[in-house]
Amino acid sequence: MFNTVPKRYDLVNRVLTLGFDGRWRRRTAKLCLVTRPARVMDICCGTGDMALHLAQLATSDVEITGVDFSEPMLEVAKYKAAARGLEHKVTFSTGDAASLAFADGYFDAVAVSFGFRNLTYHNPMRDKYLSEILRVIRPGGKFFIVETCQPHITPIRMLYHFYLKRLSSKLGALISGQMGAYRYLGHSATEYYNAQGVRRLLTDAGFGHVDFKPLLWGIAAIYTTRK
Ligand SMILES: C[S@@+](CC[C@H](N)C(=O)[O-])C[C@H]1O[C@@H](n2cnc3c(N)ncnc32)[C@H](O)[C@@H]1O
């Protein structure tokens, strides 16, 4: 599915979120760097926005790696890194979250932006992905997630679901020319876990205390947890 969208992927994100997605990734990148990691992975990096925020904000001694299994998405990420003069600060490599080519405890921090839902929503590989992410984080290292969430206030939640199912999928399809990918977005985001559900998912997988920050009435959220 992701091989069909890279050309207009960033544009669709900006339009569907009115540009908020960029602010949310940047905020997550800042939170991540406050922990002073020496090695960070952006897992499911797609077109690289989170890794590029990290690269812009980090000192040059921080090793930043973006991993994704979609070559076409990674091509866009590499192009953007070169266009912004950041190609020396970030490495993009092909890889499946189910079997990461890194030693146990290699990363001080792992971040994921809008890819956690793909790994965990009705995904039979979910437990494998979570255990693999846990494996590559060092003990005491952190995992940062920015993802769509469920607003707590019922009328806002209803309005948000209407937007996701009726408008965003049509708008995404119109801009990208890809109906399937944006129908999936609408459905998966509508049905995705609330904060309590994500907390349970992470603690069941062996992560520690989960900190939760709602964004824009809870339509999205940043989760921070520790190995
Ligand atoms: C919704 S996009 C998010 C991309 C990017 N992180 C962002 O903030 O826009 C999800 C990404 O996860 C990648 N992905 C999904 N499952 C994966 C897996 N098992 N291993 C590696 N990448 C995966 C897809 O190729 C896609 O680029």
- Is residue 115 within 6 Å of ligand 1 at its C-beta? yes
Q: Is residue 220 part of a domain?
A: yes
Determine the average pLDDT of the residues in 23-39: 98
* CB of 193 closer than 6 angstroms to any ligand 1 atom: no
Task: Return the pLDDT at 56.
Answer: 98
Q: Using the mean position of ligand 1's atoms as its centre, give its distance from the Cα of residue 185 in Å.
A: 12
pLDDT at 20: 95
Query: How far is it, in rounded angstroms, from Cα 214 to Cα 219?
Result: 7
The confidence band for 5, taking pLDDT boundaries of 50, 70 and 90, is low
Ligand 1 atom 14: residue of nearest CA: 44
What domain range includes position 122?
A: 2-6+18-149+193-226
- Is residue 90 in a domain? yes
Quick one: which atom of ligand 1 is closest to the CA of 50? 8
Whether the full predicted model's pTM is greater than 0.85, yes or no, is yes
Residue nearest to atom 2 of ligand 1 (CA): 115
Q: How many domains does the chain have?
A: 1
**Residue 154: partners with Cβ closer than 8 Å, 6 or more residues away:** none
User: pLDDT per residue over 179-202, tens digit each?
Assistant: 777 788 889 999 999 999 999 999
Is 105 inside a domain boundary? yes
Ligand 1: residue whose CA is nearest its atom 27: 46
CATH of the domain at 75: 3.40.50.150
Residue 160 inside a domain? The answer is: no
Q: Is 185 in the pocket of ligand 1 (CB under 6 A)?
A: no
Query: Is residue 155 included in any domain, yes or no?
Result: no
- Residue 33, pLDDT score: 98
Q: DSSP string spanning the chain?
A: -GGGSHHHHHHHHHHHHTTHHHHHHHHHHHHHHHT--SEEEEET-TT-HHHHHHHHHS-TTSEEEEEES-HHHHHHHHHHHHHTT-TTTEEEEE-BTTB-SS-TT-EEEEEEES-HHHHHTT-TTHHHHHHHHHHHEEEEEEEEEEEE---SSHHHHHHHHHIIIIIIHHHHHHHHS-HHHHHHHHHHHHHS--HHHHHHHHHHTT----EEEEEGGGTEEEEEEE-
Q: Is residue 75 part of a domain?
A: yes
